[in-house]
Protein backbone atom coordinates (compact mmCIF):
# COMPACT_ATOMS: atom_id res chain seq x y z
CA UNK A 1 0.00 0.00 0.00
CA UNK A 2 1.34 3.39 -0.91
CA UNK A 3 0.79 6.38 1.29
CA UNK A 4 1.63 10.01 0.93
CA UNK A 5 2.54 11.74 4.18
CA UNK A 6 2.00 15.45 3.65
CA UNK A 7 3.24 18.35 5.70
CA UNK A 8 1.93 21.87 5.16
CA UNK A 9 2.61 25.18 6.83
CA UNK A 10 -0.49 24.84 8.97
CA UNK A 11 -0.80 21.83 11.19
CA UNK A 12 1.20 23.31 14.05
CA UNK A 13 -0.46 22.11 17.23
CA UNK A 14 2.00 23.95 19.48
CA UNK A 15 2.13 27.73 19.55
CA UNK A 16 5.50 28.01 21.30
CA UNK A 17 7.64 26.90 18.34
CA UNK A 18 9.34 29.86 16.64
CA UNK A 19 10.26 29.92 12.93
CA UNK A 20 13.33 27.85 12.30
CA UNK A 21 15.74 30.74 11.71
CA UNK A 22 15.13 31.70 15.35
CA UNK A 23 16.13 28.28 16.70
CA UNK A 24 19.61 27.64 18.07
CA UNK A 25 21.88 26.36 15.27
CA UNK A 26 22.30 23.06 17.16
CA UNK A 27 18.52 22.60 17.29
CA UNK A 28 18.28 23.10 13.51
CA UNK A 29 21.02 20.57 13.04
CA UNK A 30 19.28 18.06 15.31
CA UNK A 31 16.05 18.50 13.34
CA UNK A 32 17.77 17.96 9.99
CA UNK A 33 19.66 14.94 11.32
CA UNK A 34 16.38 13.47 12.52
CA UNK A 35 14.85 13.77 9.05
CA UNK A 36 17.89 12.19 7.39
CA UNK A 37 18.09 9.34 9.88
CA UNK A 38 14.36 8.76 9.59
CA UNK A 39 14.55 8.48 5.80
CA UNK A 40 17.55 6.18 6.12
CA UNK A 41 15.60 3.98 8.53
CA UNK A 42 12.62 3.79 6.13
CA UNK A 43 14.98 2.92 3.29
CA UNK A 44 16.61 0.24 5.39
CA UNK A 45 13.20 -1.28 6.11
CA UNK A 46 12.29 -1.26 2.43
CA UNK A 47 9.42 1.18 2.94
CA UNK A 48 10.84 4.38 1.48
CA UNK A 49 9.73 5.55 -1.95
CA UNK A 50 10.49 9.25 -2.09
CA UNK A 51 10.83 12.31 0.12
CA UNK A 52 10.95 15.88 -1.10
CA UNK A 53 10.96 19.30 0.48
CA UNK A 54 9.35 22.06 -1.56
CA UNK A 55 10.84 25.53 -1.97
CA UNK A 56 9.34 28.27 0.15
CA UNK A 57 5.80 29.65 -0.35
CA UNK A 58 7.50 32.91 -1.31
CA UNK A 59 8.26 31.27 -4.66
CA UNK A 60 4.81 29.73 -5.13
CA UNK A 61 2.68 30.65 -8.13
CA UNK A 62 -0.93 29.90 -8.97
CA UNK A 63 -1.90 29.42 -12.58
CA UNK A 64 -5.40 29.54 -14.05
CA UNK A 65 -6.02 29.12 -17.74
CA UNK A 66 -8.24 31.86 -19.03
CA UNK A 67 -8.36 30.49 -22.55
CA UNK A 68 -5.50 30.41 -25.02
CA UNK A 69 -4.64 34.08 -24.82
CA UNK A 70 -4.86 35.06 -21.20
CA UNK A 71 -3.56 32.58 -18.69
CA UNK A 72 -3.45 34.21 -15.27
CA UNK A 73 -0.39 33.64 -13.11
CA UNK A 74 -0.61 34.82 -9.52
CA UNK A 75 2.73 35.37 -7.81
CA UNK A 76 3.52 35.04 -4.14
CA UNK A 77 4.37 35.72 -1.48
CA UNK A 78 1.10 34.44 -0.04
CA UNK A 79 0.49 35.63 3.48
CA UNK A 80 -2.23 33.02 4.03
CA UNK A 81 0.16 30.22 3.21
CA UNK A 82 -1.00 27.72 5.81
CA UNK A 83 -2.52 25.46 3.20
CA UNK A 84 0.63 25.40 1.11
CA UNK A 85 2.58 22.18 1.10
CA UNK A 86 6.03 22.19 2.70
CA UNK A 87 7.06 18.69 1.72
CA UNK A 88 6.03 15.07 1.49
CA UNK A 89 7.11 11.49 2.03
CA UNK A 90 5.87 8.64 -0.09
CA UNK A 91 6.02 5.25 1.61
CA UNK A 92 5.12 1.74 0.56
CA UNK A 93 4.00 -0.30 3.57
CA UNK A 94 2.05 -3.42 4.52
CA UNK A 95 -0.82 -1.73 6.34
CA UNK A 96 -2.50 1.52 7.22
CA UNK A 97 -1.40 0.89 10.80
CA UNK A 98 2.23 0.99 9.75
CA UNK A 99 1.61 4.20 7.75
CA UNK A 100 0.10 5.83 10.83
CA UNK A 101 3.03 4.68 12.94
CA UNK A 102 5.47 6.28 10.50
CA UNK A 103 3.42 9.47 10.44
CA UNK A 104 3.51 9.57 14.25
CA UNK A 105 7.29 9.25 14.14
CA UNK A 106 7.51 12.08 11.59
CA UNK A 107 5.33 14.23 13.83
CA UNK A 108 7.77 13.64 16.69
CA UNK A 109 10.68 15.39 14.94
CA UNK A 110 12.56 17.54 17.46
CA UNK A 111 11.44 21.18 17.84
CA UNK A 112 13.64 24.13 18.90
CA UNK A 113 13.80 22.78 22.47
CA UNK A 114 14.40 19.15 21.53
CA UNK A 115 10.85 18.04 22.43
CA UNK A 116 8.54 16.53 19.76
CA UNK A 117 7.33 19.25 17.41
CA UNK A 118 3.88 17.58 17.14
CA UNK A 119 3.14 18.95 13.71
CA UNK A 120 0.08 17.33 12.12
CA UNK A 121 0.92 14.96 9.26
CA UNK A 122 -1.75 14.33 6.64
CA UNK A 123 -1.86 10.63 5.70
CA UNK A 124 -3.40 9.80 2.31
CA UNK A 125 -3.43 6.49 0.57
CA UNK A 126 -2.36 6.68 -3.06
CA UNK A 127 -5.01 5.22 -5.35
CA UNK A 128 -3.95 2.12 -7.22
CA UNK A 129 -4.74 0.45 -10.54
CA UNK A 130 -7.82 -1.77 -11.08
CA UNK A 131 -8.01 -4.46 -8.38
CA UNK A 132 -8.11 -8.06 -9.54
Partner 1 sequence: MPRPPDTEGLLREAAPLVLAAVVRRFGDFGESEDAVQEAMLAASTQWPAQGTPESPVGWLIHVASRRMTDRIRSESARRGREDAVAADRVGSDPAAAADLAAAGGHDDTLVLMFMCCHPALTPASAIALTLRAVAGLTTAEIGNAFLVPEATMAQRISRAKKSIEASPEPFRMPAGDERQERLRSVLRVIYLIFNEGYVTSSGPELARAELANEAIRLARIARLALPEDPEVAGLLALMLLTDARRPARTDATGKLVPLAEQDRALWDRGSIAMGTELLAEAVARGAVGEYQLQAAIAAEHAQAARAEDTDWREIAGLYGLLERMTGNPMVALNRAIAAAMVDGPEAGLALLEELDERLEDHHRLHATRAHLLEMSGDVGGAIAEYRAAAGRTNSLPEQQYLTTQAARLNERRG
| Residue 129 C-beta: closest distance to partner 1, Å | 17
Q: Which is nearer to partner 1, 78 or 98 (CB)?
A: 78
Query: Where in 58-97 is the site for partner 1 (CB under 8 A)?
Result: 58-59
Torsion of CA 96, 100, 31, 22, to 10 degrees: 130
Give me the 42-61 binding string for partner 1, x by CB under 8 A, dash otherwise. ----------xx-xx-xx--
Could you write out the DSSP letters of every residue in 43-108? HHTT-EEEEEEPPPGGG-EEEE--SSS--EEEE---S-GGGSEEEEEEEE-S-HHHHHHHHHHHHT
Find the binder of partner 1 among 28, 84, 120, 123 (CB under 8 A). Answer: 28
Q: Which is nearer to partner 1, 30 or 100 (CB)?
A: 30
Amino acid sequence: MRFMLLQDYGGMTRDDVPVMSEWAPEAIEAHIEFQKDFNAELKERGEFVEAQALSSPALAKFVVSGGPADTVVTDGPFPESKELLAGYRMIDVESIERALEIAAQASAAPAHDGTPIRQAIEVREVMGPIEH
